[in-house]
Amino acid sequence: MFVTNTKRITKSAIINLWRSRIVSMSSILVMSITLFVFGTLIFSNAALDSALTQIQEKVDINVYFTVSAPEEEILSLKKSLESLPEVGTVEYVSREESLEKFRERHGDDQLTLQALDELEDNPLGAVLNIQAKETSQYETIASFLNSESVLSSEGTNLIDKVNYYQNKIVIDKLSKIISSSQKIGFIATLILVIMSIIITFNTIRLTIYIAREEISIMRLVGASNEYVRGPFVVAGVVYGLISAGFTLLVFLPLTYYIGSFTQRLFGLNMFEHYLSNFWNISIIIIFSGVTLGIISSYLAVRKYLKV
């Protein structure tokens, strides 16, 4: 009985799709636009995350040590910093490396290099470059560096300077930008999804409206709600599958065309991102299309199930 009903429902869905093919095409078009908007949001979020990640990677705090700070004490502090949950990476730059980088930065300043050569000893201390996991966590790291736990075994301070407070304004602004971007992105996504559902629902309801007399007759002869609703739900699934396939196809040339532009602007080649995440994106788009079709059809036919 179940198999027979399934065959009848599927056959009825195909007949309804063909009978109202113009309206069906309209429903598919509207749903394709809906899924395209949804897919665009996925790509936009990926581009935003890439851009914010690049900015975060360029923000760090540098710990400058005194010339007399023992290397083993600095490496011990490095290990302590790496154990903090807020710390992402810690890079150690020795005194020799600091001097070499200083010479590279001032390669065109012969006067400075000449004055440096006249010194008997390396005037630069070692440096630790610290990157936090989140920009909001730099203050916690700076507080740790200012605590007594960074004193040497002799009780003297190892640190000459921490540049967090010089960068604090930039770090605070970046934290606010990241927080605001995430909130705006979530709100925009929610609004667009709700609008898309409403538009798709009304379009599919037009398809069901054409078959309203047929639905009434089926209800009068005793057909169950599930049997009446079945063909329209199946049609909704078909709408979703066709729309998802069309949307995924459109994204191929589109992402290829804008790939180099997004690479320069956000540091993310959208075409390469699409290809490398094709199956994940496909599952999301197909699932969204099928779910949207089922929910819209289920709700739209409800009005005509009352005799």
Domain positions in the chain are: 2-55+175-305, 67-157
Give 199-246 pLDDT, tens digit per residue: 767 766 776 676 666 666 666 666 666 666 677 777 778 888 888 999
Kindly report the CA angle at 58 between 52 and 63, in degrees rounded to 5?
135
Specify the pTM.
0.63
CATH fold of 67-157, please? Answer: Alpha-Beta Plaits (3.30.70)
Residue range 249-296, pLDDT digits in tens: 999 999 988 888 888 877 788 888 999 999 999 999 999 888 888 887
* pLDDT per residue as tens digits for the range 154-205: 656 777 787 776 666 766 776 677 677 767 767 876 776 677 667 767 766 7
pLDDT at position 279: 92
